[in-house]
Amino acid sequence: MKAVIQRVSQASVTINGKKVAAIKSGLLVLLGIVSDDATDDISWLSNKMVNMRIFPDAEGVMNNSISDNHGDIIVVSQFTLHANTKKGNRPSYIKAAKPDVAIPLYQSFIKQLESDLGKPIQTGEFGADMEVALINDGPVTIIIDTKNKD
């Protein structure tokens, strides 16, 4: 799994003109899944995300996590995170998991994140054409790949 995590002061997801998710302070997570991702990737990534100290403390130092900050999270599926751009000008998405593999992992990740954070997670819609709006706070943007756990 590959995740692009952005600390936001606000974010939203709109599908066909209807806002389906919106948060104030928190994280916008773009999540890409490959076919060999597994449940240990889900728990590791969720734990890392919930405990990552990227929010400012009283002195303005990034010492607090999303849990400490009581922030919210939006998770958006994004297969294009696994684009291969080595050859030519048209990205290849062959590494991205097919929906029959990706959807159950995506849903399991959201459930794990809800459990770890202790509150509901907002989402986009898997496979939909979405408009994602955000105000990146900091800016803080971090990329995590579960293939680089060690």
Q: Which residues are catalytic?
A: 78-80
Query: What is the pTM (predicted TM-score) of this model?
Result: 0.94
The topology (CATH level 3) of 2-148 is: D-tyrosyl-trna(Tyr) Deacylase; Chain: A; (3.50.80)
Nearest 5°: the CA angle 36, 42, 43 is: 135
Per-residue pLDDT tens over the stretch 100-110: 999 999 999 99
Question: Per-domain residue ranges for the chain?
Answer: 2-148
Nearest Cα to Cα of residue 148 among 6, 39, 48, 30: 48
Per-residue pLDDT tens over the stretch 7-21: 999 999 999 999 999
Tell me the three state secondary structure of residue 120.
coil
Joined tokens for residue 82? 């696994």
